[in-house]
Amino acid sequence: MNILNEIAEKTRERICEKLRAEKSADFEKALTENKMNFICEVKKASPSVGIICENFDYIKIAEEYELAGAAAISVLTEPFYFQGSDKYLSDIALNVKLPLLRKDFIIDEYMIYESKLLNASAVLLICAILDDKQIEQYIKTAEKLDLAALVETHDETEVKRALDCGAKIIGVNNRNLKTFEVDIKISERLKKYVPDDKIFVSESGIKTRDDVKRLEEIGVNAVLIGEALMRSRNKKSELKRLRGY
């Protein structure tokens, strides 16, 4: 082996070590630890309701979620419609030990590499804005970087596409993208299309213990909750209430 190839090989080893050394807590495992697991969201605003949290101390919010027993934290990084920031994700990663989902609108492979650098543990891939080739490639890229991929769907067709592309974690968004109305019956209807060996996450519109209980009963592994927790002054008590304790 000549010196150039030797240096290149050492560089490959060094980069692989760095990738594995970055925070890459097991997002998939976190979503299957209990009968129902909670992904708690750090979100300042949304297009449907506007500003959710005026005094947005995102690090404090993430720390409260960790103390409250969240399985993972979802962090909005989209800046224009959700008033998110990449900085929120990288700062939270330095202050909590939970797996972190980067919630953004990933439309280029670059953003997956960027997510790794921001210390995410998982990325969100939205079927509605990606074609099958992109979904499949982005899942592979995420896995190569030791990132989980939560593939978000809205109907039967998208669930099938996600599964065919190799998704291990299927998210179902209960929000109608045209009307912004939410209905957890969407998760109840689509659950039957997802095999039991896949992780099922219900997203949006989950506000009450009854909502959570309904989803528990059909075998949903995790719920992603944003607005209900963000509006609560006592996140530990709110999460306890949602758990039914």
Whether residue 156 is predicted with pLDDT greater than 80 in this model: the reply is yes
Q: What is the pLDDT of residues 86-130, one digit of tens each?
A: 999 999 999 999 999 999 999 999 999 999 999 999 999 999 999
Name the pTM for this structure: 0.90
Q: What is the pLDDT of residues 193-220, one digit of tens each?
A: 999 999 999 999 999 999 999 999 999 9
Q: 39 by DSSP, 3-state: which?
A: strand
Can you point out the beta strands (E) in 34-147?
A: 37-42, 45-46, 50-51, 72-76, 100-103, 122-126
Q: 131 by DSSP, 3-state: which?
A: coil
CB atoms within 10 A of CB 102: 28
**What is the CATH number that goes with domain 24-243?**
3.20.20.70
Higher pLDDT, 227 or 90: 90
Residue position matching structure tokens 């709110």: 238
Residue position matching structure tokens 């039967």: 156
At residue 24, the pLDDT reads: 47
**Average pLDDT value for residue range 42-50:** 92
